[in-house]
Amino acid sequence: QTPHQGRSAPSTQPWRSPGEPQAPGSLPAPRWPVECEVIQEMIEHIEWVPPKPEPFCPPMGPEQALYTLGEEQGTVVYHSSPALQGSCFTRARVGGAPGPLSSPAAPLEGPQDTTLLFESRFESGNLQKAIKVGPYEYVLMLRPDLYTAKHTQWFYFRVQNTRREPLYRFTIANMAKPKSLYGQGLQPLLYSQRDAQSRGIGWRRVGTDVCYYHGSAGEPPMFRLSWTVRFPHDGDTCFFATCYPYTYSDLQRYLRALAADPARSRYCTVQALCRSLAGNTVYLLTITSPGSTTSKRVVVVSARVHPGESGSSWAMRGFLDFLMSAHADAQLLRRLFIFKVVPMLNPDGVVVGNSRCSLAGRDPNRAYGMALPGSFPSVWHLQAMVQRVLAEQEVVLYCDFHGHSRKNNVFMYGCDAGGDSTGTRLRQRVFPLMLSKNAPDKFSFSSCKFQVQKSKKGTGRVSMWRLGVSHSYTLEVAFSGSTLGGRSSHFSVEDLKSLGHLLCDTLLDFCDPAPAKLQQCLVEAGALLQQQMGREPGSGGSWSDVSPSELES
């Protein structure tokens, strides 16, 4: 049985938007480091929104963690580890490693063999090893980010040869972070190929007895995520993931549909910002209504500098969908602003299934300001583009979309260095405060932070602010969901996409020539800060001489 459908490789015809410069060549297949084996099948998933919100599950405490047999007592049933020549990236090609594929999965011994067949050698896949430690129990090891020995967080893999009756137990034994939303009710995602084909059901939250706890002693310490699950069908092909996957190929399909749409391609130009280390195109979209652009202000938006934060791509998708729609507010935004959008800053990391790094083996969001074009091309070229724009026009906002693994809800990080005037420091807080009013069931203003820590000086947010973008933010979207507005449930793809629309709404409020909303938010931000300082609003105490760290304590 072959429940997964193969898909032909993307066409390599040049694509162009009517009346616009030709886009960079075609949309070629992703390029992989030559050490990586890649299966031929094209993995695609349907989009689906559950009929009602999926509640958080009651998490188990570490003391309730069920005993797992040690890996050494088990049988390795899958092992795929790229033979990384040396410790750094050298070259890439379409399709990854040349030559025939190896067989990392142990073959089944007959129809009675209930061993699961694991696979993750596909775009964004990440599983290094699976060890069978009981009839329906497996210990899993994630592959660290390529050319590093750490950053294990994102997971995405396939299982076949499922059985419907038994309760399976999975334990990922090498998670890197000491704290996780899995300890607060977050559940893994499951996708059943059979349910997708016969019932139109896509990714859903599953798992009972979800537990996140300290695993092996040693350096660095490792943490374990375990859950139990029943599969919906016998003989199904299923996938597990941390968050809804959004691959480089998904982005390319979206851009191809965009180029083929005569209406949207009138006000959206797609160019190559640069190429990544592996030679994958980093796309730059310029969105504005046709006509003169000299008096327009600029908004710069980026996402997916961290490849394991796939929710940020769904928020970006919602942002682009709304901004290029026929909605009256979208038309107004295109008339008022020029949008410069980089939807995927780290395509190589997304392709190979990294959590945090690019193929340079380092976090690109700590490389702004000191990045060399040869090591971190997308970061260097984005910064250079913003510098060029600033020489001629005002950049009214920079927003970089991220995902967060330890805090619920959606929130922002801004820049308040403490030396600014009271008004400037209040204004920093207005955009996030407005967004919290537009998204009361998702966005938490109290979770926002504005301190510029030394360790964050290489981030996009701080770097753009230092260049002169006075409103520069990181938008953080929880891997889990929302605890606000009576909710205590996971984000769906629709929730994530709605954030893009809400960001557009907030931009209009923020730049509204009638000052009422802005004034109201300034007053409110001032009152909130005074309360935090333990002073009554209107008591005359000034906080303009207070340091940002005191404001946040």
Catalogue the active-site residues.
Answer: 476
Structure tokens at 68: 């797992």
DSSP state of 170: E
Q: In angstroms, rounded to a whole number, what is the distance separating the alpha carbons of residues 412 and 121?
A: 34
Rounded to 5 degrees, φ, ψ at 260 are -85, -5
- Which residues contact residue 323 at a Cβ distance below 8 angstroms, ignoring those fewer than 6 apart? 287, 330, 333, 334, 339, 500, 504
Structure tokens at 45: 């998933």
Q: In angstroms, rounded to a whole number, what is the distance separating the alpha carbons of residues 328 and 247?
A: 31
Task: Using CB atoms within 10 Å of the CB of residue 14, give its burial: 0 to 12 exposed, 13 to 18 middle, 19+ buried.
Answer: exposed
Per DSSP, what are the bridge partners of residue 468? none
- The closest of 272, 385, 358, 268 to 321, measured between CA atoms, is 268
Q: Mind spelling out the 3-state secondary structure of 86-129? A: CCCCCCEEECCCCCCCCCCECCCCCCCCCCCEEECCCCCCECCE
Q: Are 365 and 304 in contact (CB under 8 A)?
A: no
Q: What are the DSSP calls for 238-259, one per residue?
A: EEEESS----HHHHHHHHHHHH
- Which residues contact residue 176 at a Cβ distance below 8 angstroms, ignoring those fewer than 6 apart? 150, 151, 152, 153, 220, 222, 223, 355
Q: What are the DSSP calls for 43-75, one per residue?
A: P-------SS--BPPPPBPGGGPPP---GGGSE
Structure tokens at 412: 């922002």
Q: In angstroms, rounded to a whole number, what is the distance separating the alpha carbons of residues 126 and 117?
A: 15
Q: In angstroms, rounded to a whole number, what is the distance separating the alpha carbons of residues 6 and 27?
A: 19
- Which residues contact residue 251 at a Cβ distance below 8 angstroms, ignoring those fewer than 6 apart? 283, 313, 343, 344, 347
